[in-house]
Amino acid sequence: MNAPSDTIFGKIIRREIPANIVYEDDLCLAFRDVAPQAPVHILLIPKKPIVNLSTLEPEDQAVLGHMMLMASQIAAQEGLSNGYRVVTNIGEDGGQTVYHLHFHILGGRALSWPPG
């Protein structure tokens, strides 16, 4: 597995690959997914290279809490007042394809359950 800084998301953070960025601060970056699965599909990533939730360390608590607050603010910014979903995939069986922690913010239509 590649180190997270070597993934496509690391390249987006370093501006080596363009992205349609909707939010950025010192801790995280959010951008529109290039293959959206809903009318609004935004990826929210930490700037710190973290593989996924299974690899979190105690010092990651603050950045993850911050990201959850930002997910809510980004959803509001995108007009998702009728609801939305925040999803992360962990490992191969969980559907993770980029090994840099990321949250999908999905909305703009009714989302069905179960998702997979």
HEC assignment per residue over 51-108: CCHHHCCHHHHHHHHHHHHHHHHHHHHCCCCCCEEEECCCCCCCCCCCCCCCEEEEEC
Q: Residue 3's pLDDT is what?
A: 58
CA distances in angstroms from 78 to 46, 74, 103, listed in the order given? 20, 6, 15
DSSP 37-55: SSSEEEEEEESS----GGG
The pTM (predicted TM-score) of the whole model is 0.93
Q: Residue 5's pLDDT is what?
A: 65
Q: Residue 114's pLDDT is what?
A: 82
Whether 102 sits among the annotated catalytic residues: the reply is yes
Encode the chain (116 residues) as per-residue pLDDT tens digits. Answer: 555 668 999 999 999 999 999 999 999 999 999 999 999 999 999 999 999 999 999 999 999 999 999 999 999 999 999 999 999 999 999 999 999 999 999 999 999 988 76
Sheet holding 28-32, edge to edge: 21-24, 28-32, 40-46, 103-107, 84-87
59 CB-contact burial (10 Å; exposed 0-12 / middle 13-18 / buried 19+): exposed
Catalytic-labelled residue, pool 41, 100, 102, 104:
102
Whether the bond between 46 and the residue before it is cis, its omega within 30 degrees of 0, is no
